[in-house]
A and B are shown apart, each in its own frame.
Chain A
Amino acid sequence: MESALAANQFLALSAILFVIGVAGVLTRRNVIVVMMSIELMLNAGNLVFITFSHYLNDMSGHVFVFMVMAVAAAEAAVGLAIALAMFKNRETVDVDEVNLMKG
């Protein structure tokens, strides 16, 4: 399929989504929203993979996206379990109130 679109357009979109994800991670305090922002960043990365896969005519990118999805699913499962445990222990999911690692 001949595409009229340039790769750079997809890359630019990916960059925008990624930066939005970063902003979410940095500014939000709800740990669940932070995790969703991370999912958004991962998706932005996936878009880059698919784009290059298409323009370089190499399906390896698809396989990598597959892997990223699996890792994202695992991360979501564990991350949400941590959020649950945190809520059970501290009655909060605010990342600013968790500082056990303080030196």
Chain B
Amino acid sequence: VPCVSGGLPKPMNITFVSINMKNVLQWAPPEGLQGVEVTYTVQYFIYGQKKWLSKSKCKNINRTYCDLSAETSDYEHQYYAKVKAVWGTNCSKWVETGRFYPFLETQIGPPEVSLTTGEKSISIVLTAPEKWKRNPEDSSVSMQQIYSNLKYNVSMYNTKSKRMWSQCITNHTLVLSWLEPNTLYCISVESFVPGPPRLTRPSQKQCVSTLEDQTSGLKVK
């Protein structure tokens, strides 16, 4: 039975949250309906095509998000999405996103960072962030395959000297040598792609200590 449109206030703050091409539509409940068992229905539109499409898993749902990664997986196209609130025979008008362009708007997650310490060195090995995949068993696609100019900004903090410095690299390994022995260093890495302004998300800070000094020959003045 079609609902009476406009009988409910609209959901709010509808937006796509996209990280590594995992594109999730999110919204906030309509105002003034606390305690009311509202459900939501989502539709999406491929810019340039003919009609709005439904996603069965996002029909009459209670949650306020809908994963549209599969539906928007062609990242060189643009998309719209919309949602409406439903309660009994009443429903809100649709509320629509702006045009969403995954290729330009997805946030590029940090790489995986593994550290190995030596007496005066720390070896850093980075694994490029992975693109969202439909099934866990699907083969992985690195974000580097989509953005060939992907780079990494490695930030290094020496907890003893309280100095921070960074280094921009394009490959996946970096050896920091001639460090001070027996010193705690904290490292964080951020992926970035030169081009339109994008939100960035640094990796979790990891702190490791260089090993004890096996020889006492080397002193820094």
| A and B associate in one complex | no
Binding site for B on A (CB under 8 A): none
